Amino acid sequence: MSEESPAFLSSPRIVDLTTGVWPQVVERFLLEMPLEDRQAFGAGPALVAEFASGRLGRFSGILDPGKAALVGIVGGWVLDAEAEIHLLYIRKEDRRRGFGRRLLSSYLSDLDRGGVTASYLEVRESNRPARFLYYSLGFTLEGVRKGYYQNPKEDGVVMVRRSSSGSSADAVTLDEGARSDG
């Protein structure tokens, strides 16, 4: 018998976090985030309470089978044909391994299949890793909310991905994305 693991056991797995035991796992995941990250990325008590109450929007996670652990989550609210993404977070030690791209791509594909035609999010102007990722997946600049964030005070960049442009996300290069942001 081969000692290699089958591919499905060694590749990251996307899970629906709204069913089964996942709400409890997510609650722990959120509570284990560094405090400054919880504050910076809106994963505070209100979101934890939402998970605990079971009144969730649509949330997905990504599992690293090597560690048998949840390494990241994405989620937000869906209302008819519009979605608002509130949280995308990959654990610090697991970043730059492709988890964020994989998780968000899968989430957006689910939204497309569910009939969502416009997905909105907001990101700190200085958050270049996230903005590069969003541009590369078809998000474009929608507007800027001056001084929206506190501690430190900073503009919020509002981005939108319309499903008709989402399918061509791979064609958008990071350089093009960065330029279109001015």
> Distance between CA 99 and CA 103 in Å, rounded?
6
Q: How far is the CB of 36 from ligand COA (least distance, A)?
A: 11
Q: Which residues, other chains included, contact 44 with Cβ-Cβ below 8 Å and sequence gap of 6+? A: 38
Contact between 139 and ligand COA by CB under 6 A: the answer reads: no
Residue of the chain from 23, 97, 120, 142 that contacts ligand COA (CB under 6 A)? 97
| Smallest distance, ligand COA to C-beta of residue 107, A | 12
Q: Which is nearer to ligand COA, 88 or 116 (CB)?
A: 88
CA-CA-CA-CA torsion for 91, 77, 170, 145, nearest 10 degrees?
-90
Q: How far is the CB of 90 from ligand COA (least distance, A)?
A: 4
Q: Is there binding between residue 70 and ligand COA (CB under 6 A)?
A: no
In the 8-state DSSP scheme, what is residue 171? G
**Backbone CA torsion sign across 141, 146, 149, 154:** positive
How far apart are CB 71 and ligand COA at their closest, in Å? 8
Give Cβ neighbours of residue 112 (< 8 Å, ≥ 6 apart). Answer: 163, 166, 167
CB of 124 to ligand COA, least distance (A): 7
- Which residue from 28, 101, 145, 179 is in contact with ligand COA, where contact means CB under 6 A? 101
Candidate ranges 8-16, 20-28, 85-93, 106-114; the one touching ligand COA (CB under 6 A): 85-93
171 binds ligand COA (CB under 6 A): no
The one-character DSSP state at 6 is P
Report the side by side order of strands in the sheet with 13-16. 13-16, 58-64, 69-79, 82-90, 118-124, 154-162, 140-149
DSSP β-ladder status, 82-90 and 58-64: unpaired
Does residue 130 interact with ligand COA by CB under 6 A? yes
Question: Nearer to ligand COA by C-beta: 78 or 90?
Answer: 90
Q: Which residues bind ligand COA (CB under 6 A)?
A: 41, 88-90, 95-101, 123, 127-130, 132-133, 136, 174
